[in-house]
Amino acid sequence: MADDVIHLDGRPVPAGAPGARLLDWIRDEIGQKAPKEGCGAGHCGACTTLIDGAPAPSCCTLVQAVIGRTVQTAFGLMTTRIGRMVRDKFNEHGAVQCGFCGPGMALVGAAWLAGLDGRVPDRAEATRALAGNLCRCSGYAPIVDALLDAAHNLAGAAS
């Protein structure tokens, strides 16, 4: 059906098998490797995508649930101002070490930053924003530092 498309990273893509997991469709059918298979149960954040702007585990989401909707991966995120800022701040703060959690952390962080509307959060709020995304390498502090730095930059740009 012509209507069976998913708007993936800004372009309409035929949805494929509706019973497939979104993670498998993105990785195996589309060939995009940013979402990672972590726990397979939606608890680690490695497979995070943004569905209509909200973080969601692609390992627990079926393709049929996102037909006609907007799905953004870390690749698509890099086409946005906030996405590029998150990437740059992660690099400046050494927030990504092995890279496994990076795409999910970037997506969750960017969605959180977009919702701040120029407000500068505190460290506790930034830490809570990452709940559900696990990192085994960085100890989280550099990731939180990067997000707070980005929030300060966005707040300065908003004034």
14-27 residue pLDDT tens = 998 889 999 999 99
Q: Is the dihedral of CA 119, 122, 125, 126 positive or negative?
A: positive
CA torsion, ordered 13, 21, 16, 1, to nearest 10 deg: -90
In this structure, are 65 and 26 located in the same domain? yes
Domains in the chain: how many in total? 2
106 and 119 part of one domain:
yes
Note whether 145 and 89 are same-domain residues: yes
Enter the DSSP assignment of 99: S
In terms of domains, do 116 and 130 share one? yes
The reported pLDDT for the residue numbered 96 is 86
Contacts of 28 (CB under 8 A, 6+ apart): none
Q: Which of 58-62, 88-92, 94-98 has the lowest mean pLDDT?
A: 94-98
For the chain, state the CA radius of gyration: 15
Is 102's pLDDT higher than 90? yes
70 with 85, same domain: the answer is no
Same domain, 84 and 154: yes
Please identify, among 76, 97, 119, the residue that sits at the C-terminal boundary of a domain.
76
Each residue's pLDDT tens digit, 111-146: 999 999 989 999 999 999 999 999 988 779 999 999
Q: What one-letter code names the amino acid at 2?
A: A
Q: Residue 92 sits in a domain of what CATH number?
A: 1.10.150.120
Q: What residues does 105 pair with on adjacent strands? A: none
pTM of the entire structure?
A: 0.93
* Two structure tokens written together for 120: 């500068």
Residues 97 and 29 in one domain: no
Write the burial class of residue 10 (CB in 10 Å: 0-12 exposed, 13-18 middle, 19+ buried): exposed
Give the per-residue pLDDT at 158: 63
Q: Which residues pair with 5 in a beta bridge?
A: 14
- Beta strands 54-57 and 11-14 are unpaired
Enclosing domain of residue 32 = 5-76
Average pLDDT over residues 38-50: 96
